Amino acid sequence: MSISKSASADGSTLTIQIKGKFYFNLVKSVR
């Protein structure tokens, strides 16, 4: 149970990092 919980937590963190990177690049290209 704890293993899958940590795995999903890592997945959400990775998704947030990817979205943040994409958003940062988007803002940079607009400027």
Domain borders along the chain are: 1-30
Q: pLDDT at position 19, please?
A: 92
Alpha-carbon separation of residue 17 from 2, 6, 21 (angstroms): 22, 16, 6
Q: Which of 11, 12, 9 is nearest to 1 (CA)?
A: 9
Cα 13 to chain centroid distance, Å, stands at 5
pLDDT, tens digit (0-9, with 9 covering 90-100), for 1-31: 566 666 677 778 889 899 999 999 999 988 7
How far is the C-alpha of 21 from the C-alpha of 17, rounded, in Å?
Answer: 6
Give the pLDDT of residue 9: 72
**pTM passes above 0.85:** no
- The secondary structure of 17-28 as a DSSP string is HHHHHHHHHHHH
